[in-house]
């Protein structure tokens, strides 16, 4: 008689399940994860909306009547994103993760998408090895930074203009090259409570920051130095931001390791939470290579 692990892995569309059911299985897959990422149904709904996740193309793995794992697919023109891949701890290394990932890649192919993206937490060797096996290659390291609501220093002397959502999104623009999925323009356009700051320093240096304000957290930072030293400009817009929101935590994801603004973040009290490895499969389409 077959044990549950001997049964064939069956993949079902995530759209066959409620958000509560998807949340429950996702949380079960992460109970021993390198970086705890608990989810609730409301947060999952926001995640799906912000990141263009297709539940029809996302998958849940089953063996017999037992749920074994889940994986989600973000889909945008010319590109797809493998995300929220998780397998129940007791059934790892039995082919579930590979079946889910292959299934997502097949779903992307049905959409005529030949460029796939993902991020894997650094030192998650089993997942990293799986993705390499399936044709993904490394393109860089990404930082996840946090800042607790410590008292910020006095803001840098600068002309600081607050930007409403429409003004902020004009600055972000639509074509910014091949960014990590979470930081692509579409993610900001989909997000709620987006605002911005434009700063001009006394020496003529200037730049801007666009961000999302959630109930207790500042997040989703997009920024640019237009003129001058990126460290000086970033320190200026961060000093004004944290004077404006002194009681909010801050979490920003997937900042490039070679970002020239990083010293300003560290000086402002940001600390590294963990790193991800960004991986691609296929070549970025021409529509993403500009900017």
Per-residue pLDDT of the chain (291 residues; tens, 9 = 90+): 344 555 799 999 999 999 999 999 999 988 777 676 778 999 999 999 999 999 999 999 999 888 999 999 999 999 999 999 999 988 888 889 999 999 999 999 999 999 999 999 999 999 999 999 999 999 999 999 999 998 777 888 899 999 999 999 999 987 788 899 999 999 999 999 999 999 999 999 999 999 999 989 999 999 999 999 999 999 999 999 999 999 999 999 999 999 999 999 999 999 999 999 999 999 998 777 654
Q: How many CA atoms lie within 13 A of 108 on its CB side?
A: 27
Q: Residue 157 — φ and ψ, nearest 5°?
A: -65, 115
Please state which CATH number belongs to domain 7-114.
3.40.630.30
The sheet carrying 194-201 orders its strands as 9-13, 53-63, 66-76, 79-87, 116-121, 271-281, 137-147, 249-256, 217-227, 206-213, 194-201, 158-163
Decide: helix, strand or coil at residue 220: strand
Listed in order, the ranges of the chain carrying CATH 3.40.630.30 are: 7-114
Q: Establish how many alpha carbons lie within 13 A of residue 88's alpha carbon, considering only the half-sphere containing its beta carbon.
A: 15
For domain 145-276, give the CATH number: 3.40.630
Bridge partners (DSSP) of residue 158 are 201
195 vs 67: CA distance, rounded Å: 41
Strand stretches in the chain, DSSP E: 9-13, 53-63, 66-76, 79-87, 116-121, 137-147, 158-163, 194-201, 206-213, 217-227, 249-256, 271-281
Within 8 A by CB and 6+ apart from 239, the residues are 152, 153, 154, 155, 156, 268
Determine the pLDDT at residue 291: 46
Only one residue has tokens 């800042």, namely 147
Q: What is the pLDDT of residue 2?
A: 42
Q: Quote the pTM value.
A: 0.90
The first and second tokens of residue 3, run together, are: 């044990």
């Amino acid at each position: 008689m077959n044990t549950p692990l001997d049964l064939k892995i069956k993949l079902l569309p995530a759209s066959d399940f409620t958000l509560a059911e998807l949340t429950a299985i996702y949380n079960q897959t992460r109970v021993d994860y390198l970086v705890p990422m608990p989810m609730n149904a409301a947060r999952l709904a926001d995640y799906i909306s912000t990141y263009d996740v297709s539940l029809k193309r996302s998958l849940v793995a089953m063996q017999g009547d037992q749920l074994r794992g889940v994986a989600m697919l973000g889909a945008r023109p010319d590109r797809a994103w493998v995300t929220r891949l998780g397998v129940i701890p007791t059934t790892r290394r039995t082919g579930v993760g590979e079946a889910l990932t292959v299934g997502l890649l097949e779903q992307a192919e049905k959409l005529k998408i030949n460029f796939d993206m993902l991020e894997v937490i650094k030192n998650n060797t089993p997942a990293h090895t799986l993705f390499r096996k399936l044709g993904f290659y490394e393109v860089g390291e990404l930082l996840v930074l946090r800042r607790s609501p410590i008292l910020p220093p006095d803001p840098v002397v600068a002309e600081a203009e607050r930007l409403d959502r429409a003004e902020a999104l004009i600055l972000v623009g639509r074509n910014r090259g091949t960014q990590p999925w979470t930081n692509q323009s579409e993610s900001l356009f989909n997000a709620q409570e987006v605002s911005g700051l434009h700063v001009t320093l006394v020496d003529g240096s200037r730049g801007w920051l666009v961000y999302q304000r959630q109930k207790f957290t500042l997040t989703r930072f997009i920024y640019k130095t237009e003129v001058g030293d990126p460290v000086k400009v970033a320190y200026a817009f961060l000093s004004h931001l944290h004077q404006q929101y002194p009681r909010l935590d801050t979490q920003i994801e997937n900042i490039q390791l070679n970002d020239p603004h990083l010293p300003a973040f560290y000086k402002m009290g940001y600390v590294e939470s963990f790193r991800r490895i960004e991986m691609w499969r296929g070549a970025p389409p021409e529509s993403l290579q500009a900017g």
